[in-house]
Amino acid sequence: MMQPQQPYTGQIFQPTQAYTPSTPQSFYGNNFEDEPPLLEELGINFDHIWQKTLTVLHPLKVADGSIMNETDLAGPMVFCLAFGATLLLAGKIQFGYVYGISAIGCLGMFCLLNLMSMTGVSFGCVASVLGYCLLPMILLSSFAVVFSLQGMVGVILTAGIIGWCSFSASKIFISALAMEGQQLLVAYPCALLYGVFALISIF
């Protein structure tokens, strides 16, 4: 049986507005000026990058453990890219080797430092420190663009750069992880890692 249809009364159904859209200011505060800068949200602090760079360039400077313990990968990525670029200027396309050796070296140092330290360390912190301490190696590869490093002067310069990198890295690890009296034990594997980078620069 068909139901009788209701007669049309001319009234249109109008739903009530249950949702009241809020202004963007309710999400972001009073205005957009209260928002933190984009670089701060991304974790990029140029002041800390500059302080870490100065710590690497000045091996005798005391490292600030609170800053060095941060996971900052912006500077290391730039330094790895600069190292590969200087090798490219010397006619060596070694970007894959640079990033591959960096990843393997960071993994090895991460395991080693977690075995040696009482507090433990994150993988990002290890990658950050080793990447920043690659800066003297960029100077060596820049020197190799103009001059040959296969003579006696090149060997002496390369040994000095390796010592510079490993001493800076071990100094930062010691201050960040409170590993007093173990700098030489940390500097040795760092020297092996930076020695591989030096071999790429020479040959």
**pLDDT at 15 (0 to 100):** 58
Number of domains in the chain: 1
Lowest mean pLDDT among 64-73, 144-153, 184-193: 64-73
Q: Residue 159: inside a domain, yes or no? A: yes
**pLDDT at 187 (0 to 100):** 95
Contact 191, 173 (CB under 8 A): no
Q: Residue 38: inside a domain, yes or no? A: no
Local structure of residue 94 (DSSP, 8 states): -
Q: Residue 45: inside a domain, yes or no? A: no
Q: Token pair of 55, please?
A: 């710590």
Q: Residue 36: inside a domain, yes or no? A: no
Q: Which of 84, 52, 90 is nearest to 203 (CA)?
A: 90
Question: For residues 168 and 83, what is the distance between their CA atoms, to the nearest angstrom?
Answer: 18
**pLDDT at 22 (0 to 100):** 52
**pLDDT at 39 (0 to 100):** 67
Question: What confidence tens digit (pLDDT) does each residue in 126-177 have?
Answer: 999 999 999 999 999 999 999 988 889 999 999 999 999 999 999 999 988 8
Report CA-CA distances (Å) from 80 to 2, 96, 124: 80, 11, 15
Question: For residues 127 and 43, what is the distance between their CA atoms, to the nearest angstrom?
Answer: 15
- Is 70 exceeded by the pLDDT of residue 16? no
Question: What confidence tens digit (pLDDT) does each residue in 20-43 have?
Answer: 555 555 445 555 666 767 666 666
Q: Residue 11: inside a domain, yes or no? A: no
Contact 178, 119 (CB under 8 A): yes
Cβ partners under 8 Å of residue 91, min gap 6? none
| Helices and strands of the chain, counted as H and E runs | 10, 0
Left (φ > 0), alpha (ψ -120 to 50) or beta: where does 91 sit? left
**pLDDT at 191 (0 to 100):** 97
Mean of per-residue pLDDT scores for the chain: 84
Q: Residue 49: inside a domain, yes or no? A: no
Q: Give the domain range for residue 180.
A: 73-202
**pLDDT at 6 (0 to 100):** 64
Q: Residue 90: inside a domain, yes or no? A: yes
- Is 60 exceeded by the pLDDT of residue 9? yes
